[in-house]
């Protein structure tokens, strides 16, 4: 009877080991310890008539203990499986790191942009009207090439800032206009996936800047235009101007949704806010300060956005490099995997990135964007003379090269961080492992 009682105590210990420990190891250890302690204890003399009963009890106890261990394994394995295979919603929640400070910075930026538009649209305009500096009947004597209906000082103040804008804010505005959310996210992704071949665009940006500086800007400045498409009417006819303006409008309508959606998608990933909520909110604020404040409001809001954008990228570069282990680690990991490479020197059009494709294609593309695009040219035309345009163009080029270089490096930094656990090829059931790499 005493042995039977001891066996029952062993079973109870096994059951308790199944129910209480947090891991499989603890359950097995406690159960095995109970079995060992019972088998190594001094045996009790039993009558021969009780042997069959003991054997039966021992067999039952062994089966029960095995079932207890199996139950422990099943329970803990199920719990471990649930931990290793999070749901998509759980994973998304785990990756959302926007805190109170982040929200405050984001909201403050939107509020400041709206206030700037209100200031230039109402307060400054009212002050000028009171001082008699603005008159709708006053004509602009700067040139005779532009459209008559746009030669009032008020119209010039709205469209090109009265041609009295300063070099530095216009330069920062040019950087913000040239580098969109697509560039910030897409350039880093390009380097992360394909390597540094795309970095050759830095050379083409310098060439495009020189072409714009020496060919396009002097012509637009001397003609005192408010739009690049006015040149088409002067050089050809009104039909050409309308066709060019229409093509630009269509291109912009196709391009804008992507420019708006990409940052909204990134914001959604770190906050969980629906893109259909954040997109209209940001668009309404942008339309407000642009419509009310004119080019002056646009330039000064661009200044704020550029400072925040460059500052954020620099912080990411510094923090990310420190987390990886230093600049040497970033270069070493990319060098070992063949990520640091120049584009191929070939004329084969089937090659994705070649020197000639980048040189010819991206030079033409960036020359249009820097020298002929209305978004860029209108900011240049807000400066008083060609000299100021040249200075602004130089600062603009330095800013674009700097920001582009930072985004290129971010791509290398991303690869150095995820070189052994690529999120792009890792499926949901392995995501718990690369989440620890974040």
Which of 134, 137, 116 has its CA nearest to residue 125?
Answer: 134
**The residue to which tokens 């100021």 are assigned:** 388
Element (H, E) at 69: helix 51-84
Question: Could you tell me if 385 and 164 are in contact, meaning their C-beta atoms sit under 8 angstroms apart?
Answer: no
Secondary structure tally for the chain: helices H, strands E:
20, 0
Which of 293, 282, 305, 286 has its CA nearest to residue 174?
Answer: 305
The pLDDT of residue 271 is: 87
Which of 193-226 are b and which e, b meaning 16 or more Cβ less than 10 Å from the residue's Cβ?
A: eebbbbbbbeebbeebbebbbeebbeebbebbbb
Question: Could you tell me if 296 and 170 are in contact, meaning their C-beta atoms sit under 8 angstroms apart?
Answer: no
Which of 322, 267, 262, 320 has its CA nearest to residue 97?
Answer: 267
The pLDDT of residue 90 is: 59
DSSP code, position 146 = S
Please tell me whether residue 152 adopts helix, strand or coil conformation: strand
Pick the CATH number of 90-435 from 3.40.50.300, 2.60.40.10, 1.20.1730.10, 1.20.1640.10: 1.20.1730.10
Mean pLDDT by 10 residues, the chain (438 residues): 51 48 46 48 40 45 50 48 51 68 91 95 83 52 45 79 93 92 89 91 90 90 88 92 94 91 89 91 94 95 94 94 94 91 87 88 90 92 93 93 94 90 57 41
Bridge partners, residue 344, by sequence: 354
Question: Could you tell me if 271 and 96 are in contact, meaning their C-beta atoms sit under 8 angstroms apart?
Answer: yes
Dihedral angle sign, alpha carbons of residues 58, 64, 67, 69: negative
Q: How far apart are CA 413 and CA 401, in angstroms?
A: 18
Rounded alpha-carbon distances, angstroms, from residue 275 to 127, 268, 363: 39, 6, 34
Bridge partners, residue 152, by sequence: 139
The pLDDT of residue 93 is: 62
The DSSP annotation for 395-425 comes to: HHHHHHHHHHHHHHHHHHHHHHHSTTS-TTT
Q: Two tokens at 330?
A: 């970033």
The pLDDT of residue 270 is: 85
**The residue to which tokens 């490479």 are assigned:** 341
Question: Could you tell me if 228 and 415 are in contact, meaning their C-beta atoms sit under 8 angstroms apart?
Answer: no
């Amino acid at each position: 009877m005493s042995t039977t009682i001891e066996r029952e105590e062993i079973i109870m210990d096994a059951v308790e080991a199944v129910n209480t420990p947090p891991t499989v190891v603890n359950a097995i250890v406690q159960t095995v310890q109970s079995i060992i302690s019972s088998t190594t204890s001094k045996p009790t003399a039993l009558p021969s008539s009780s042997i069959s009963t003991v054997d039966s009890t021992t067999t039952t106890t062994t089966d029960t203990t095995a079932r207890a261990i199996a139950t422990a394994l099943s329970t803990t394995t199920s719990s471990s499986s649930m931990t290793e295979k999070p749901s998509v919603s759980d994973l998304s929640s785990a990756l959302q790191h926007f805190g109170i400070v982040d929200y405050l910075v984001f909201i403050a930026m939107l509020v400041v942009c709206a206030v700037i538009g209100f200031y230039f649209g109402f307060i400054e305009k009212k002050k000028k009207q009171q001082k008699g500096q603005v008159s709708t009947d006053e004509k602009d004597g700067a040139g005779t090439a532009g459209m008559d209906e746009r030669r009032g000082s008020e119209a010039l103040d709205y469209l090109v800032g009265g041609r009295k804008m300063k070099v530095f804010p216009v330069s920062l505005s040019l950087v913000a206009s040239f580098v969109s959310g697509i560039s910030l996210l897409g350039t880093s992704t390009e380097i992360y996936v394909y390597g540094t071949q795309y970095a050759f665009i830095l050379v083409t940006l310098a060439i495009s800047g020189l072409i714009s500086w020496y060919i396009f800007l002097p012509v637009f400045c001397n003609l005192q235009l408010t739009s690049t498409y006015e040149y088409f009417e002067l050089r050809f006819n009104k039909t050409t101007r309308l066709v060019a303006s229409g093509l630009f409008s269509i291109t912009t309508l196709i391009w804008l949704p992507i420019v708006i959606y990409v940052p909204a998608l990134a914001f959604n990933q770190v906050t969980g806010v629906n893109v259909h909520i954040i997109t209209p909110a940001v668009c309404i604020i942008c339309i407000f300060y642009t419509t009310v404040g004119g080019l002056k409001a646009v330039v000064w809001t661009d200044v704020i956005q550029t400072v925040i954008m460059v500052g954020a990228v620099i912080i990411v570069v510094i923090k990310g490099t420190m987390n990886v282990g230093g600049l040497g680690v970033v270069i070493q990991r990319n060098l070992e995997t063949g990520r640091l490479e120049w584009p191929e020197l070939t004329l084969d059009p089937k090659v994705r990135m070649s020197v000639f494709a980048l040189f010819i294609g991206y030079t033409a593309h960036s020359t249009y964007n820097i020298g002929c695009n209305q978004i860029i040219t209108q900011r240049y035309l807000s400066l008083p003379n060609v000299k100021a345009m040249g200075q602004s163009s130089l600062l603009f080029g330095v800013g674009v090269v700097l920001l582009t270089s930072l985004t290129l490096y971010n791509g290398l930094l991303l690869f150095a961080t995820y070189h052994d656990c690529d999120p792009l090829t890792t499926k949901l059931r392995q995501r718990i492992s690369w989440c620890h790499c974040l």
